[in-house]
């Protein structure tokens, strides 16, 4: 019995599934975990009406298909206990040990991540996901199995929730499963999401498949028989498996190549499993001797394996009736890694950890995935980097000395240069590919030899950002361009500071600037000059920091007229969707009967107004001290302990901010989540309040809440 084909899985069924590959399993511990999980989830039901505990059991059964260790199976049984029941970390640790408690806690934290929100929050949450992966990859294996079972049973959810989960699955979890080497899981996750996001297209492909089978018979059986016949003639032993590709895989190929279904040829895939690598190459020879190979469709991942340990030979041939057939050839050990991916590191057989020579060390694998992420300073650059690294297929190119450089498909000689070293990339002026000089925007192909020509004094150009595709190259180019801009900003900032000091009758000295930098939490005086030049910090604020008496003379801005750029008869108010604050970049939008509404420049609502430029007005906040009257909503998660809410309110009051509204939106045994509306002077005041709250140990999370659905 397999997990996928099982109906209701009993405790004995699960133990049997584990015993199939691990006779030495700790049966008693698994049974205790089952009983504990069932007790904790008692009375809870899923959207379908089934008892909730059927879900953790199904997730555990899915993980037995990957032959995973007892700790991972038990984590699956308990993965929702800390999140959704009265269970706690300390109790799980006491009953099942620290290792399992850490794993369960890791899955709980991933469950709390909302991966399809605003760009800034999405970037931060994907960072957390990658950190969780780096601590213990089994956390992600449980989360992927959890998502797979939820997608299999998604029909019972509300339609809007189905669409949200499906998009999140398509954007994050399916590519992650593929990058981890679990291609079967990636394909199923994609297809389940495709069923929700575009059911008409999926049904259309399925109908055409049925028509094709009715007209041509079972093509898979016939081609499989042809391959077996050729292998028998060559005296080669191997197992042959064939299947039609998943509907989403076919749909994606139709979109990429702009082909109709009738013109799409390679919709069938075949796998040949043998004993040794030598046999793989002999089988390849037999296949190519019988059928004509399709040019450009051959990949040897045995001699050049993927970073997740995947090894196989891929070839596409013109088979029976001229149909293109994709064939993968690999050994049994390679196949285990191809099925389990990085999870093969934990796989058991006969009660012992399998020493598969092709399984990669998860710690090394995760370091290759995350390498360079920390160099992406802003949210957009980080998301661009991580998605490129997770989604891209690879090409392998050679240095003149024969070293292999692995790059994503679509990479250019510039990407190649930065992959060798940042210094080589920065000084690149041209490149030779297979001995011929080529433009830097040339797309590299598998097996090409690349020589980088560098020149001293060369600096990255701004146009290079659009040429490169790797996150590493993009980050390095942006960093270099920022350094060039920095020199200009330092000079400009120095001049602005000189004028501000003179206007206040004070002397601008190196010591004064160093002191101001320290008081403003800036690394040094040079960085302070640069930030003044970039308008991150005003020169007036620097002077006021050193000499507060100069600021006190400054009149407070009238809250009724806080912005510049309005006509005399135009009214003004802040947009409720983004709640802009003094100090933030804003734009005005005219609304009939409502005057001018100020939106933050990064407000999501502005996207719908891009085609109405006549309504846009250039606004800016007036310089000076604004009163604390601008409401902002904070989303707080705090521990459910005595006195915590009082301390939070006191902290806000200590920073001269007034609480105008407070409401609870989620109550859990351990945590409360609440929305607090505070009245502030501006963006700097907001940062002060949020920093103080973030430092409070009882505050688990604090974010600035924005709601694009709130219309002006």
Q: 114, exposed or middle or buried, with CB in 10 Å at 0-12, 13-18, 19+?
A: exposed
Cα dist. 479→177, 426, 475 in Å?
A: 31, 10, 6
Catalytic pick from 27, 84, 99, 230? 84
Is residue 83 annotated as a catalytic residue, yes or no? Answer: yes
Taking the alpha carbons of 624, 679, 537, 510 in that order, is the dihedral positive or negative?
positive
And the tokens for 91?
A: 């109790």
Instruction: Map residue 158 onto helix, strand or coil.
Output: coil
Residue 662 contacts residue 635 (beta carbons within 8 Å)? no
Residue whose pair of structure tokens reads 């989604």 in the numeric block: 391
Is residue 536 annotated as a catalytic residue, yes or no? Answer: no
And the tokens for 126?
A: 């994907």
Cα dist. 273→183, 288, 324, 329, 336 in Å?
A: 16, 17, 20, 6, 10
Residue whose pair of structure tokens reads 């902290």 in the numeric block: 651
Catalytic pick from 26, 27, 83, 602? 83
| Helix orientation angle between 54-64 and 138-152, rounded to the nearest 10 degrees | 120
Q: 278, exposed or middle or buried, with CB in 10 Å at 0-12, 13-18, 19+?
A: exposed
Rounded Cα distance between 482 and 493, Å, is 15
Find the distance separating the first CA and the last CA of the chain, reported in whole Å.
58
Residues 6+ apart with CB under 8 A from 581: 630, 632, 680, 682, 683, 685, 686
Rounded Cα distance between 144 and 185, Å, is 8
Residue 265 contacts residue 216 (beta carbons within 8 Å)? no
Rounded Cα distance between 599 and 606, Å, is 8
Active site residues: 83-84
């Amino acid at each position: 019995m397999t997990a996928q084909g099982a109906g209701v899985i009993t405790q004995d069924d699960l133990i049997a599934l584990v015993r199939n590959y691990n006779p030495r399993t700790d049966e008693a511990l698994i049974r205790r975990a089952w009983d504990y999980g069932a007790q904790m989830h008692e009375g809870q039901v899923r959207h379908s009406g089934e008892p909730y505990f059927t879900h953790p059991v199904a997730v555990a059964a899915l993980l037995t298909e990957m032959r995973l260790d007892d700790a991972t199976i038990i984590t699956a049984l308990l993965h929702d206990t800390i999140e959704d029941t009265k269970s706690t970390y300390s109790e799980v640790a006491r009953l099942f040990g620290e290792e399992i408690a850490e794993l369960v806690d890791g899955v709980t934290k991933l469950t709390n991540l909302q991966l399809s929100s605003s760009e800034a929050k999405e970037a931060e949450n994907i960072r957390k996901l990658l950190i969780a992966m780096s601590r213990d990859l089994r956390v992600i294996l449980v989360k992927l199995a959890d998502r797979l079972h939820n997608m299999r049973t998604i029909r019972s959810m509300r339609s809007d929730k189905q669409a949200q989960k499906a998009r999140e699955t398509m954007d994050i979890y399916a590519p992650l499963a593929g990058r981890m080497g679990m291609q079967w899981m990636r394909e199923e996750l994609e297809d389940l999401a495709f069923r929700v996001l575009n059911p008409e297209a999926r049904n259309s492909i399925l109908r055409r498949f049925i028509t094709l089978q009715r007209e041509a018979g079972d093509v898979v059986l016939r081609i499989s028989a042809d391959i077996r016949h050729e292998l028998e003639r060559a005296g080669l032993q191997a197992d042959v498996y064939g299947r039609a590709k998943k509907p989403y895989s076919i749909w994606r190929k139709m979109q990429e190549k702009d082909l109709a279904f009738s013109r799409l040829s390679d919709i069938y895939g075949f796998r040949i499993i043998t004993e040794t690598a030598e046999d793989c190459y002999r089988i390849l020879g037999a296949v190519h001797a019988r059928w004509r190979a399709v040019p450009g469709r051959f990949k040897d991942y045995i001699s050049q394996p993927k970073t997740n340990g995947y090894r196989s030979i891929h070839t596409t041939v013109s088979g029976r009736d001229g149909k293109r057939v994709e064939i993968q050839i690999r050994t049994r050990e390679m196949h285990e890694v191809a099925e389990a991916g990085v999870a093969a590191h934990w796989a058991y057989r006969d009660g012992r950890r399998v020493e598969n020579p092709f399984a990669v060390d998860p710690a090394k694998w995760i370091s290759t995935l995350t390498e360079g992420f920390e160099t992406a300073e802003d949210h957009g650059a980080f998301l661009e980097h991580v998605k490129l690294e997770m989604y891209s297929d690879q090409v392998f190119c050679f240095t003149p000395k024969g070293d292999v450089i692995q790059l994503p498909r679509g990479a250019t000689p510039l990407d190649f240069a930065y992959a060798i070293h940042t210094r080589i990339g920065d000084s690149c002026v041209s490149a030779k590919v297979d001995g011929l000089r080529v433009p830097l925007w040339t797309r590299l192909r598998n097996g090409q030899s690349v020589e980088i020509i560098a020149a001293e004094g060369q600096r990255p150009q701004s146009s290079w950002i659009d040429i490169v595709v790797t996150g590493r190259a993009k980050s390095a180019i942006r960093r270099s361009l920022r350094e060039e801009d920095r020199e200009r900003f330092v000079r400009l900032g120095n001049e602005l500071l000189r004028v501000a000091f003179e206007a206040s009758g004070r002397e601008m000295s190196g010591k004064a600037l160093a002191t101001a930098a320290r008081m403003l939490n800036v690394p040094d005086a040079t960085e302070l000059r640069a930030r003044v030049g970039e308008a991150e910090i005003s020169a007036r604020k620097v002077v006021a920091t050193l000499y507060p008496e100069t600021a006190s003379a400054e009149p407070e801005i009238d809250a009724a007229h806080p912005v510049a750029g309005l006509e005399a008869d135009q009214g003004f108010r802040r947009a409720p969707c983004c709640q802009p604050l003094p100090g933030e970049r804003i734009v005005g939008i005219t609304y009939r009967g409502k005057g001018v509404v100020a939106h933050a420049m990064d407000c999501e609502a502005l996207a719908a107004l891009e085609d109405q430029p006549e309504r846009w007005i250039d606004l800016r906040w007036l310089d000076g001290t604004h009163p604390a009257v601008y409401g902002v909503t904070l989303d707080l998660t705090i521990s459910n302990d005595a006195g915590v809410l009082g301390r939070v309110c006191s902290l806000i009051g200590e920073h001269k901010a007034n609480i105008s509204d407070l409401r609870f939106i989620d109550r859990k045994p351990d945590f409360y989540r609440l929305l607090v509306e505070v009245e502030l002077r501006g963006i700097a005041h907001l940062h002060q309040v949020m920093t103080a709250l973030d430092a409070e140990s009882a505050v688990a999370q604090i974010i600035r809440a924005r709601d694009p659905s709130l219309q002006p």
